[in-house]
Amino acid sequence: MSWLSIVVLVAPLIACGRILFMKEESDADRDRIRQTAIGWSTVSLVASLAMFLLFDAGATERYQFLVEIEWVESIGLGLILGVDGISLAMVVLTSIVIWTGCQVSRSITDRVKEHYILLMALCVGVFGVFLSIDLFFFYFFYEMAVIPMYLLIGIWGSRAAKYSKEYATMKLTLFLTTGAVVALIGLLAVYFEAGRVGGVYSFDMREIAKVTFSDSFQITWFPVIFLGFAAIVPLWPLHSWSPIGHAAAPSSVSMLHAGVLMKLGAYAILRIAFDSLPAGAEHWMGWVGLLCCMNILYGGLVAMAQRDMKFIIGFSSSSHMGYVLLGLATMNMLGLSGAVFLMFAHGIMTALAFGLIGWFYEQTHTRVVDDLGGMLKVLPFAGTCFIIMAMASAGLPGFANFASELLVILGAWKSEFVLAGTGMTLPGWVPTMAAIWGIVISATYLLRAIRDAWLGPLNPRWSELKDVTSRKHKTPFVALILVLAVTGCFPSLLVNKIKDGVGKLRVMQSAPVQEEARR
């Protein structure tokens, strides 16, 4: 069944090529283009769900659905696709978000063809990152995802408060590529060192994972790779591109951006930095445990002072990604599984949020909560979805965000954060308290946003708004809520696969050994 991973990757590529040769002259043409994109993204979705169902969580081999295509043998370079528990969750997340994203971008009527070509190219990039087990292609697909993003925001975006969309997209691209270039230096260092130590020059992550690097090499190069990718997560204080990027992007792109693109960074840290440099991770992640508290608290507080709905969700994303970083910093089973699960949950949740905000923004042309008010009366469906989204985001049990944040908190509580270089240790309860307080803060700004925008007396300006009525339009929102609820009520479905992937990470493998060494 390993062809499934090719199907997932190639379906959007085919869509790209197909749309390239379609004409866009009438509304019917535009609809055909849309249908093509939705159709091929459905193929990806079905294939990834099939992968999800067929994935064997107890298998001995680490990667499943392997496909290997040799390319440049002499330097150990080839296209290797496959998934483990972690990337499986990410692939499923991506396919769901893209499937819904294609549907909510019905509102785009200007240059539909180009829009969908770029969107599909972006998909290929993102799927490629999650599926590649080869460092070179990992990086290749990563860059492939960034460029369409630049164009999508620059062309179809909207003004974000005082920043123009050009500013936003420029900033986003510069941050992402700079981060990637920094990480690339680290990746090349790992490649050459692996060749030097292990004797085989190969970009294959499985080969690299067999090599044991010296501690000093790991401690020197871990921060380079980590920081490169942490700018994408985004780690405080490298986050400033993200809320503006969210706010300026059109809704489908916001969905992909917040839902999937931000997860690339955390995924890369887990997959590359943790897997190849476990000792470096052990050495440095204590600091991340401290910095992510800033993410959680600071992001939440800034969100509290925002009035633009997309900025509120944007900063809340950077707050929530703080939990992901905290989960990574715990370096234990609960925290890491929680972090991956939270990446999934947060992806779905923000996709829902931006889809909904896009829905009313098209009609109101404002996202400032003070201008809104009482919209639940005229938009009962969208409002209910929004309240569900906010509740999920504020950590209501029954939704995946609660289960995953709970895991992160449990993991953090049992963990210790060694602040390398200072000789100090941060006890687990300090970040845990920040994390729990972060939940209080998130409830505050979300409830406030709900009250200001949706509840209260109806602002007469909006009495003409149209609710989501047709089944076609409701589908993406209902689907996202269902995914959140199902994985929230039955987290084992997903967590069993995630924990299999996490358990096979090198940091988890080596942990007992290092424990013994310490004793």
Partner 1 sequence: MTLFAWITLLAPLMAAIYLTIKPDVRRSASAPNIAIASVAVCAFTSLLFLVSGTELKSLWTWMSFPWDGGTLDIEIGVQVDNLSKLMLIVVGFVGTPIFFFAKGYMKGDPSIGRFFAKFALFVFSMLGIVFATNFLMIFIFWELVGASSYLLIGYYYEKPSACEAAKKAFLTNRVADFGFLLGILLIWSIAGSFDFDVIAQAVQDGNLAGESWKLSLAGVLIFVGAMGKSAQVPFHVWLPDAMEGPTPVSALMHAATMVAAGVYMVIRAFYCFGAEFGVASDFIVMTGAVTAVLAATIAVVQTDIKKVLAYSTLSQLGYMVMALGAGYYAVAMFHLTTHAFFKGLLFLCAGSVIHGCHHEQDMFKMGGLRKKMPTTFWCFTIGMLALTGIPFLSGFFSKDLIVDALHKRHFGGLQLVATATAGLTALYMARSWYLTFFGAYRGHAEPHESPKIMTRPLQFLAVFSAALGAIFYFGGGQEYLSAWQGPGTSPLHIDPTIAITSTVVVLIGYLIAWSFYGKGQTDKGASLAHRFSPVHDLLVNKYYIDDFYLWLVGSIQQGFARFCRLVEENFIVGILVGWPTRFTLWSGDKLRGLQSGRLNFYAYCFVGGVTLLVVFFILAGAQ
In the complex, the smallest distance separating the C-beta of residue 251 from partner 1, rounded to whole angstroms, is 24
Are 331 and 282 a contacting pair, CB within 8 Å? yes
Which lies closer to partner 1 via its Cβ, residue 140 or residue 437? 437
Site membership for partner 1, residue 192 (CB under 8 A): no
Are 476 and 100 a contacting pair, CB within 8 Å? yes
In the complex, the smallest distance separating the C-beta of residue 390 from partner 1, rounded to whole angstroms, is 10
Are 130 and 87 a contacting pair, CB within 8 Å? yes
Site membership for partner 1, residue 57 (CB under 8 A): no
Per-position b or e across 64-76, b if 16+ CB within 10 A of its CB = bbebeeeeeeeeb
What does the DSSP assignment read for 182-207?
HHHHHHHHHHHHHHHHHS----BHHH
In the complex, the smallest distance separating the C-beta of residue 487 from partner 1, rounded to whole angstroms, is 11
How far apart CA 397 and CA 418 sit, in angstroms, is 32
In the complex, the smallest distance separating the C-beta of residue 305 from partner 1, rounded to whole angstroms, is 4
Which lies closer to partner 1 via its Cβ, residue 210 or residue 451? 451
How far apart CA 112 and CA 119 sit, in angstroms, is 10
Nearest to 278 by CA among 190, 234, 219, 337: 219
Site membership for partner 1, residue 234 (CB under 8 A): no
Which lies closer to partner 1 via its Cβ, residue 6 or residue 458? 458
Nearest to 256 by CA among 362, 125, 370: 125
Site membership for partner 1, residue 456 (CB under 8 A): yes
User: Torsion-angle region of residue 467: left (phi > 0), alpha (psi -120 to 50) or beta?
Assistant: beta
Site membership for partner 1, residue 482 (CB under 8 A): no
Site membership for partner 1, residue 195 (CB under 8 A): no
Q: State which amino acid sits at residue 101.
A: G
Site membership for partner 1, residue 181 (CB under 8 A): no
The contact mask relative to partner 1 for 418-447 (x = CB under 8 A, - = no) is -----------x--xx--xx-xx--xx--x
The contact mask relative to partner 1 for 292-331 (x = CB under 8 A, - = no) is ------x--xx-xxx-------------------------
Dig out the tokens for 11 from the structure.
């379906």
Site membership for partner 1, residue 196 (CB under 8 A): no
The contact mask relative to partner 1 for 337-376 (x = CB under 8 A, - = no) is x------------------------------------x-x
In the complex, the smallest distance separating the C-beta of residue 419 from partner 1, rounded to whole angstroms, is 21
81 forms beta bridges with: 67, 132
Which lies closer to partner 1 via its Cβ, residue 213 or residue 462? 462
Nearest to 389 by CA among 232, 266, 264, 258: 258
Which lies closer to partner 1 via its Cβ, residue 195 or residue 398? 398
Task: Rule CB under 8 A: choose which of 49, 410, 419, 486 binds partner 1.
Answer: 410
Cis peptide before 223 (omega within 30 of 0): no
Distances (CA, A) of 298 to 122, 216, 348: 31, 33, 23
In the complex, the smallest distance separating the C-beta of residue 198 from partner 1, rounded to whole angstroms, is 30
What does the DSSP assignment read for 297-348?
HHHHHHHHT--BHHHHHHHHHHHHHHHHHHHHHH-SHHHHHHHHHHHHHHHH
Site membership for partner 1, residue 409 (CB under 8 A): yes
Site membership for partner 1, residue 473 (CB under 8 A): no
What does the DSSP assignment read for 430-476?
HHHHHHHHHHHHHHHHHHHHHHHHTSSSPPGGGTTPPP--SHHHHHH
Which lies closer to partner 1 via its Cβ, residue 127 or residue 454? 454
Residues that bind partner 1 (CB under 8 A): 171, 237, 239-240, 298, 301-302, 304-306, 333-334, 337, 374, 376-377, 391, 395-398, 402-403, 406-407, 409-410, 413-414, 429, 432-433, 436-437, 439-440, 443-444, 447-448, 451, 454-458, 491-492, 495, 499, 503
